[in-house]
Amino acid sequence: MQADKVAKEYQMLEKSVREFAAKMLRPRLEENDRYPVSDDFAKAVEKAMELEYFSVMLPEDMNGFGGKTLPLGIVLSCISETDAAMGAMILTNAVAQEIMLTAGETDIVRDICGKADWSRELLIAFPLLTDPEEDEILLSAKKEDGKYRLSGTAEYVVMGPMARRALVPAKLGNEPGYGFFLVDLDLPESSSQGAISSAGLHACPASDIKFMGAQARLMGRMEDGPRYYEQTCIKMLPAAAAVAGGLMQGSMKEALSYCKKRRQGGRRIIDWSELRLILSDMLLAANTGRILLDNAFRAVDAHSAKWAEDALTASVYVLETACRQTSDGIQALGGYGYTKHSFQERRFRDAQHLRSIFGSAVPRRLAYAKLGLNC
Amino acid sequence: MSLSISNQRLTTMEDWFDDNSASLKAISSQPGAMAGEIMEVVNLARKFKEEFIRPQAIEMDKRIQEDHSYLPEEWVDEACRRGFFTLCVPKIFGGQGYCFPALSYFMEEIASVCLGMANIIGAHYLGLGTLICTWNLPLIARVCREIVEGERSGKACMVSLAMTEPTSGSDTPEPDLLDKGQVACLAKKEDGGYRVNGSKIFISNGHFSTWHMTVAFEDLARPSETAVILAVRNGAKGFQVAGKESKMGQLACPASELVFNDCFIPNEQVALSPDMTRGYSRTHREIYQHLFDDLCSISRAGVCALSAGAARGAYESALAFAAMAKKKGDYLINSEWVQCRLAEMYKNAVVARLLYIEANYANGNHGIYKGLQAKPVYYALRYLPKSFLSWGLGKALGLEWLTGLIRKRQLSGFNPGMVQRTAGLGALAKFASSDAACENAQLAMEMMGAKGLRHELGTEKRLRDIKLLQIYEGTNQICRMDLFRNLIARRLPQAKLYEECV
């Protein structure tokens, strides 16, 4: 009975998200591919907060689903089918929240969410596309009078230009490892260099943020930063892949719709077998991704024995396949797919970002080999 | 499905060898001076690339992203100032007369930094190439004179090819598809010319060009039998360069919409029409197919050159990144996977280059360059003074029977086997190289991670730019069909084209 109740809740969630995407995102999709965002997109963000999509993974007493990843996956894939930038915002926020919760900072998360009468207050920027284990950390923390101060640069902080706070990794002097710090971006000691001009996800911009002795709060313990990151990273990878999965679904549906209408050589282009094969491959990729992700979310949520391997299997596949599949999505539409008349070119650009989630793709595949093959 | 096996071999060793060994034949037949010409042109391109394009390409891309209506006229002006629009205009028509294969090497250099700029120049030669393929010498002479005059005056005179329509894309150059398709650009024959109604879309350089080589049809129900090619000049009443597409990449080169509203084109500007081919040994439909096979043989080799440049650019940026970036304290380039990917990217760039070289050799041996690369003609055009050539052209143009004879011989005297060879190689070169370029762009992005997403490093721009290579000049799917049609199907009488057995 409990399982039925949960399944119904998830169905209702999916219905709600699809309605939200159709009503709030689809009509203004072309305008929403830029930063600063339009008023309509800002309203959509506020509505998404009101609908608690930005807190979907939080504990139940914070109106979330109690740390479950599947509801987040539902939100992200359904929204990203229409608009991956909004999906990336929700994902970034959820990752930052998860690291803080893993670090035991529940009260701070509750405090931030409780104050959310204004959207910017709720958003926590985070360098989602870098891996502090791989990439050089250019930010250092110094402890003075029991308080930490940050100096240096945090690179590619996603939502940096729009969030009130950022969660960033920093090193303490020459000590090994790193810790995570929550810092107020309104402090005069922090300065953003504006939104980075980038390939995609324009409505979810990133920025390089400079800190000059900005006061920050350490999350959990300094020496445990890498552990918080690793735990969060593997757990949240399927969620990141769900954004890419949404892109694949959207790309496949738009390609199908176009190929049914467009005619060439006297017949609908869907009736040409080579193009039909492209569509078939797109469908196969999108559906395989959906099945793998569903399995991964359930494995993560059930803490099954191979949850990490299942999470990586789904994520590595989906994040890489999305780049190829969205490219095919343009190809199916020909010149039309290359223009802003369709949203295929945007999906293609957005998919490139997601491939770099939590660091670049090849090291992730090597990590997968290490885990999956035990070598 | 039934499978009957006969003893007849589907391919012969001779065909296989001849189809793919154009370079071997070219060794003895190609004028030796062409190599020197090519290096001259490559040096011009390199200078332009380093002095002008590299410092501006990223900024220009950003500017147009912010304002899709912006037209980089200053880039056109600079290319004009440097003589790039007359580079391969034959000396007999007043141009600089560099051999056409040199243009591919030139394009590769420019494309290694900016595909948008490369396409500005490339699309001009596509338009001009279309006109040349009609062998209408008086019209060619007129347009070329204007191009040369444009360079002299500093106001570029460029040519575009207007073919794609809102309801008809890659099927337009394929008569079999064209006849079943939905073309709508009507050219109604009237006294003294044609009256055109319709529109064209995705026309590269439409906003920059003075002349637009426009494909239209006397009878929309029988397009391949009634196709006309018109040289439409800016300012013609009823003609308008309308909107500009908002594209993902190659932003410097506008994709324009051209609108014809009762636009009258006089006979002097009709490059090819059914009337002109009446009495030839081939039907108008066959000539239309031959013309576009010839054109695609050179234009697809051109796209291959763009792809080679783009693949090279992606390789070079990935190499620079891997040589400088550190991961976990060591240079990225010291990872085996990075070294293997760089080797793969290097291979892609080199293979793409070899493909356009081979395609151009085929065009020289059997295709549209053959006449110009015959040694007596080549050296005469290269070393005789321009004034003498100009005098000779004037005399020839006065002899209607002579220009008519040349035209008839070029348009209907072709050997189908030779055309298949050049067109097949052109298609192969185009789709293989553009797929390789896309792979390189993806590999570069993959290697650079979040850094590759930053606009200022140029890698993401290259990825956006490269994607178009798989689409224009016939999608890669159409190019695969063209390879099959030209190089595989000719020994298979049972093979049907553009039909489905399921």
Nearest to B454 among A198, A278, A362 (CB): A198
Query: Using DSSP, how many helices (H) and how many strands (E) does chain A show?
Result: 11, 9
Closest Cβ–Cβ partner in A264, A274, A355 for B171: A264
CB contact, 8 Å: A61 with chain B? no
Report the DSSP pairing between strands A179-184 and A165-172. Answer: antiparallel
- Asked if A335 and B467 come within 8 Å (Cβ–Cβ), the reply is no
Cβ separation A362–B438 shorter than 8 A: no
Residues of A in contact with B69 (CB under 8 A): none
Q: How far is B397 from chain A (nearest CA, A)?
A: 40
- Pairing between strand B193-204 and B186-190? antiparallel
Residues B234-285: tens digit of each pLDDT: 999 999 999 999 999 999 999 999 999 999 999 999 999 999 999 999 999 9
Q: Considering only CB atoms, which chain B residues are within 8 Å of A156?
A: 450, 453
Q: Do B247 and A130 touch (CB under 8 A)?
A: no
CA–CA separation, B461 and B249 (whole Å):
7
Cβ atoms < 10 Å from Cβ of B490 = 17
Q: What are phi and psi of B326, to 5 degrees?
A: -115, 140
Instruction: Give B460 to chain A, closest Cα distance, Å.
Output: 6
Q: Which residues of B touch A265 (CB under 8 A)?
A: 171, 174, 176-177, 180-181, 498
Nearest CA in chain A to B454: A198
Place of tokens 């070169």: B429
Q: Is the pLDDT of residue B6 over 60?
A: no
Q: Give the nearest chain B residue to A274 (CA atoms).
A: B477
The pLDDT of residue A225 is 96
- Angle A106-114/A84-102 helices, nearest 10 degrees? 140
pLDDT band of B13, cuts 50, 70, 90? low
**Count of pairs with CB atoms under 8 A, one residue in A, one in B:** 134
CB A124, CB A97: distance < 8 Å: yes
Cross-chain Cβ contact B248/A339 below 8 Å: yes
Contacts of B449 in chain A (CB under 8 A): 129-130, 135, 356, 359-361
Taking residues A121-137, what's their average pLDDT?
91
**Which residues in chain A are contacts of B176 at CB distance < 8 A?**
265
Query: Cβ of B455 and A196 within 8 Å?
Result: yes
Inter-chain contact A265–B326, Cβ cutoff 8 Å?
no
**What's the mean pLDDT in B22-34?**
87
ipTM at complex level: 0.95
pTM of the entire structure?
A: 0.96
Q: Which of A199, A275, A362 sits opposite B446 (nearest CB)?
A: A362
| pLDDT average, residue stretch B167-185 | 88
Please tell me the distance in Å from A9's CA to the nearest CA on chain B: 36
Provide mean pLDDT across the span B331-350.
97
pLDDT, average across residues A253-260: 98
For chain A, the helix, strand and coil percentages under 3-state DSSP, each to the nearest 5: 60, 15, 25
Cα dihedral sign, B177-B181-B184-B187: positive
pLDDT of residue B499: 79
Residue B1 has pLDDT above 50, yes or no: no
Nearest CB partner across the interface for A335, out of B169, B249, B476: B169
The per-residue pLDDT for range B441-468, each reduced to its tens digit, is 999 999 999 999 999 999 999 999 999 9
Please state whether beta strands B159-162 and B211-217 pair in parallel, antiparallel, or not at all (unpaired). parallel
Mean pLDDT of A267-282: 95
What is the per-residue pLDDT for B176? 87
B168 closest CA partner among B186, B153, B154, B151: B186
Average pLDDT, rounded, for chain A: 94
- Residue A115 has a CB neighbour count (10 Å cut-off) of 11
pLDDT the model gives residue B11? 61
Chain A residue closest in CA terms to B166: A336
B93: nearest Cα among B128, B134, B42, B41 = B128
Q: Do A355 and B445 touch (CB under 8 A)?
A: yes
Within 10 angstroms of residue A281's Cβ, the number of other Cβ atoms is: 15
How distant is the alpha carbon of residue A18 from its chain centre?
Answer: 18
Chain A residues 155-184 within an 8 A CB cutoff of chain B: 155-156
Residues of chain B in contact with residue A130, where contact means CB-CB under 8 angstroms, are 449-450
Q: What angle do CA B58, B106, B470 make, to 5 degrees?
A: 65
Sign for the CA dihedral angle at A211, A212, A217, A223 comes to positive
Q: What is the pLDDT of residue B490?
A: 85
Residue A204 amino acid letter: C
Q: Least CB-CB distance to A339: which of B169, B180, B247? A: B247
Contact state of B453 with A353 under an 8 Å Cβ cutoff: yes
pLDDT at A118 over 70: no
What value does the mean pLDDT take over residues B309-323?
Answer: 97
Nearest CA-CA distance, residue B200 and chain A, Å: 13
| pLDDT, chain B, mean | 93
Other beta carbons within 10 Å of B282: 17
